[in-house]
Amino acid sequence: MNGDADVPAWLESGEPLGVRGPVTRIETHAAMVFLAGDRAWKIKRPVDLGYLNFSTAQARRDVLCEELRLNRRTAPDLYIAVHAITREGGRLALDGDGEAVDWVLEMRRFADDALLDRRAQEGGLDELLLRRLVDAIVDFHASADIGPREGGAERVRRVIEGNAASMAASPSIIAPAVAEDLWQRQQALLARHAALLNARAEARRVRRVHGDLHLGNIALIDGVPTPFDCLEFDADLATIDLLYDLAFLLMDLWARGMRREANIVFNRYIDRSAADEDGIALLPLFMSMRATIRAHVLATQARLTCDMDAEARAGRYLALAGALIEPVPVPARLVAIGGLSGTGKSTLARVIGGLLGCPPGARILRSDVLRKRLANVAIETALDPDAYTAQASRAVYAELDRLAGAALAAGQAVVADAVFGSAAERASIEQKARATGVPFKGVWLFLPESERIRRIAARGPDASDATAAVARWQSEAIATPDGGWISLPAAGGLDDLEAAAIRLLER
């Protein structure tokens, strides 16, 4: 009896797992997972794909032990133990006395609908959930082991070259000419951003992180968004720029047509991690590289299993990888959204952010968030009223202008979200657009005071510290701009406001 060949059928029988009911087998190009009762059991396929090699039992043991260790960083309650699959007298056993012919990872099972890819299909990714997910990712990234502080560009080059080799292994699915064109464009962007990539490595933005951070590897466990199933088989492939780690999630959302959600994730991450403001120019390349990985992994799966659906999906991801780095990128532009507190500026910014600029959409610079950053407090932490001085406000608007200029110079669109209550503040943001040579549009939202106060009272945790008293003061102190900015009524529904804003931006 060949223990290696018999292991999948043996596990699927349920006998070694202590269950009488059905066992569900899930297969990927490199692993098999068996769902039985309240447990999930994972084995590695005995394959050598070049970028991973599980061809020996010892290699499979080592990688499963590493998978257990690494995933306990983000999901300690899910990952239980690694067990030997032994063979003695022609019979297989779990942790028996015979020779170990394979190894299996025991995990706590969760409900299928806990996966965020399932929730995405059902429209269940609300903004609060996305915020909590991003906060968990930021905190994980902050605690991750720091990688080498040199060779940031070389690290990315190796990924691009590895992807090219993996695509070449499936020429019947990924046309060589298409793969070559994609490789050329990614190499050109790598050359353009090499200095930035090296600087980010020097600044400790390269770390041993998740490496496979898409919606299918994130579950809602006991109400907490929990990344699991990280890239465990190659430390070098998982020691990457933090924004490259984030880019898999951004690409996954973008591929599903969830541009608003991708833009929310992008902006929440940068809002929380000021050290990554300088890296936003890298995201189109990083997202393209992630789509390329999806394409060649699915192509390999299709080749090994004759899965026609996987082949079709590989083609779609390959097309996306190219679209994310179009030869002529979407031009940058600056949109400023002003108005008194409670008019819906931030809501509108989130609505249009994913529609503007290069993937993953516009950098939204919200004055309330920048105020908290400058005060060195968490975004939703309320500041004392005495923190709202004229000097502090000038510093906030100066920082907004500075960051807008940097994002525009990096080729990304910007949405500036602030009251812009003075002519000087409005003139300053307009000047930033002129200085960087991009189109500018100023939008002023207006709403009756009573409705603004109602909205402010109904807010949940938020970056804004506005109160009813602030709303009343603004009504007396701030006048509607008398020229240049286009006024939009905000009293209707969000759909009406979104449609009006889009029509305005298309002019």
pLDDT of residue 482: 85
Token pair belonging to 245: 């780690």
Can you spell out the DSSP letters for 217-251?
GEEEETTEEEE-S---S-HHHHEEEHHHHHHHHHH
Contact 443, 432 (CB under 8 A): no
pLDDT of residue 4: 64
Alpha helices by DSSP H, listed for 240-379, are: 242-255, 259-272, 283-305, 308-323, 345-353, 367-374
Distance, CA of 169 to CA of 429 (rounded, Å): 51
pLDDT of residue 3: 41
SS3 content of the chain, % helix, strand, coil (to 5): 55, 15, 30
pTM for this predicted structure: 0.93
- For the chain, domains (ranges, CATH) are 3-109 (3.30.200.20), 116-323 (3.90.1200.10), 334-506 (3.40.50.300)
Distance, CA of 471 to CA of 255 (rounded, Å): 40
Contact 248, 292 (CB under 8 A): no
The owner of tokens 């082991």 is 145
Token pair belonging to 312: 């079709």
pLDDT of residue 1: 34
Can you spell out the DSSP letters for 353-391?
HTTSSSTT-PEEEEHHHHHHHHTTS-TTPPPPGGG--HH
Distance, CA of 285 to CA of 186 (rounded, Å): 7
Contact 29, 97 (CB under 8 A): no
Alpha helices by DSSP H, listed for 95-151, are: 116-121, 127-143
Distance, CA of 321 to CA of 379 (rounded, Å): 33
For 387-397, letters b (16+ CB in 10 Å) and e give eeeeeebeebb
pLDDT of residue 86: 95
Per-residue pLDDT tens over the stretch 340-387: 999 999 999 999 999 999 999 999 999 999 999 999 999 999 999 999
Element holding 481 (H helix, E strand): none
CA angle, corner 65, sides to 64 and 70, nearest 5?
95
Largest CA-CA distance found in the chain, in angstroms, rounded: 90
Contact 465, 383 (CB under 8 A): yes
Per-residue pLDDT tens over the stretch 251-266: 999 999 999 999 999 9
Distance, CA of 45 to CA of 42 (rounded, Å): 10
pLDDT by residue for the chain (507 residues), tens only, comes to 334 678 999 999 998 998 888 899 998 878 999 999 999 999 999 999 888 899 999 999 999 999 999 999 999 999 999 999 999 988 999 999 999 999 999 999 999 899 999 999 998 899 999 999 999 999 999 999 999 999 999 999 999 999 999 999 999 999 999 999 999 999 999 999 999 999 999 999 999 999 999 999 999 999 999 999 999 999 999 999 999 999 999 999 999 999 999 999 999 999 999 999 999 999 999 999 999 999 999 999 899 888 899 999 999 999 999 999 998 888 999 999 999 999 999 999 999 999 999 999 999 999 999 999 999 999 999 999 999 999 999 999 999 999 999 999 999 999 999 999 999 999 999 999 999 999 999 999 999 999 999 999 999 899 999 999 999 999 999 999 988 899 999 988 778 888 888 888 887
CA angle, corner 95, sides to 89 and 99, nearest 5?
45
The owner of tokens 């026609």 is 308
Nearest to 345 by CA among 463, 434, 473: 463
Beta-bridged to residue 404, according to DSSP, are none
Token pair belonging to 322: 């190219």
pLDDT of residue 345: 96
